[in-house]
């Protein structure tokens, strides 16, 4: 299978999730919207010629009937290399339920063993685009990181924009940013879209900092690696059960700083995202008359650094992507 075929195949996977879930925008039911995204993504994977195993998904088999961790996806044969698949069919379930920006469907794929198998818990993260690669250190204070990234980008600190999830646990980051005169952009949900925004200058976002889901962190790291950016992370287990889960997954040092190459170990990794609602980088799904819909996606490959923006127009009456 050609690399361009793989990339566009992944785009169709995220397009399917976005098309199916977008009809529930603003209807107040995040569970139904999420299920629609899962159904669409699973159907699209069933037509893709890859030999994949979900390593980051909707959860364990017991509580996730589809796209569960360990599930085989694709219609590839034994002659094809095994691939790790990380999915989030709908990152931002509350966002789509309320009709808010930054809901997105995402998938990452790489050779077997290439994606960090993150347990479902909190993870502290810091991410930047390619212009500030090597300038971040998760063990340093937010103030030090902002000033170092400002220097790396050759931008006055007053022109820097830090994107932070609007949570009380991040007050120290917001206070540090304001203290040095940096701009702060708060978001409510959906930290994958927020991390991706760091990799593109036209979004105006320079640094992502904060604590969120570990599985989402690995998916976002795949995007950052494709863009040539930088990311560091640290797991933050809060209970004895979470600590034991880490050990069971072979994670011995809970204080270890996970560098970009720890999170994504291979350059032959792909990332695709389709906006469900409007994001900093992509426009959300737009429906038009006669059952047509338009999607906007981004598809990347780390090995070549290729980034494709895909605008697709779908006839929903004929589309094989849509679950009805």
Which pLDDT value is given to residue 4?
62
The domain 122-263 is placed in CATH, from the list 3.10.690.10, 3.40.190.90, 3.30.1360.40, 3.30.930.10, at 3.40.190.90
pLDDT single digits (tens) 84-123: 999 999 999 999 999 999 999 999 999 999 999 888 889 9
Going by the annotation, the residues of the binding site are: 34, 58, 88, 91, 216
Q: Which of 314, 300, 313 is nearest to 3 (CA)?
A: 300
Assigned CATH class of 3-113+268-315: alpha beta
Answer yes or no: are the C-beta atoms of 102 and 190 closer than 8 Å: yes
User: In this model, does residue 65 exceed pLDDT 80?
Assistant: no
Residues whose CB falls within 8 Å of the CB of residue 82, separated by 6 or more in sequence, listed in order: 51, 52, 53, 111, 112
Q: Which residue has the tokens 């426009």?
A: 283
Q: Which residue has the tokens 């797991």?
A: 235
Report the alpha-carbon distance of residue 143 to residue 152 in Å, rounded: 14
Residue ranges per structural domain of the chain: 3-113+268-315, 122-263
2: confidence class by pLDDT, cuts 50, 70, 90: low
Q: Which of 2, 20, 1 is nearest to 320 (CA)?
A: 20
pLDDT single digits (tens) 127-139: 999 999 999 999 9
Going by the annotation, the residues of the binding site for Mn(2+) are: 34, 58, 88, 91, 216
Which pLDDT value is given to residue 324?
56
Tokens of 283: 């426009």
pTM metric for this prediction? 0.93
């Amino acid at each position: 299978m050609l690399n361009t075929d793989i990339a566009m195949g992944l785009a169709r996977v995220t397009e399917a999730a976005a098309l199916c879930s977008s009809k529930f925008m603003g209807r107040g039911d995040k569970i139904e919207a999420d299920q629609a995204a899962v159904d669409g993504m699973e159907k699209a994977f069933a037509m893709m010629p890859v030999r994949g195993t979900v390593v980051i998904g909707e959860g364990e088999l017991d509580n996730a009937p589809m796209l569960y961790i360990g599930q085989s996806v694709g219609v590839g044969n034994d002659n094809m290399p095994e691939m790790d698949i990380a999915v989030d069919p709908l990152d931002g379930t509350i966002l789509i339920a309320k009709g808010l920006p930054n809901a997105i469907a995402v998938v990452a794929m790489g050779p077997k063993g290439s994606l960090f198998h993150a347990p479902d818990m909190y993870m502290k993260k810091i991410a930047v685009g390619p212009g500030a690669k090597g300038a971040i250190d998760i063990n340093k204070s937010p103030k030090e990181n902002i000033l170092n990234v400002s220097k790396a980008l050759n931008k006055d600190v007053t022109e820097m924009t830090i994107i932070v999830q609007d949570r009380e646990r991040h007050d120290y980051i917001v206070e540090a940013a304001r203290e040095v005169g940096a701009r702060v952009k708060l978001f409510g949900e959906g930290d994958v879209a927020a991390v991706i925004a760091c990799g593109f200058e036209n979004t105006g976002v320079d640094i992502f900092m904060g604590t969120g889901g570990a599985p989402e962190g690995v998916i976002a790291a795949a995007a950052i690696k494709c863009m040539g950016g930088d990311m560091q992370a640290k797991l933050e287990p809060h209970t004895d059960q979470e600590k034991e889960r880490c050990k069971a997954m072979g994670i011995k040092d809970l204080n270890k700083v996970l560098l970009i190459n720890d999170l994504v170990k291979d350059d032959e990794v792909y990332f695709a995202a389709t906006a469900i609602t409007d994001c900093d980088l992509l426009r959300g799904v737009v429906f038009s008359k006669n059952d047509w819909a338009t999607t906007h996606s981004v598809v990347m490959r780390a090995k070549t650094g290729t980034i494709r923006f895909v605008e697709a127009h779908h006839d929903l009456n004929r589309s094989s992507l849509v679950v009805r």
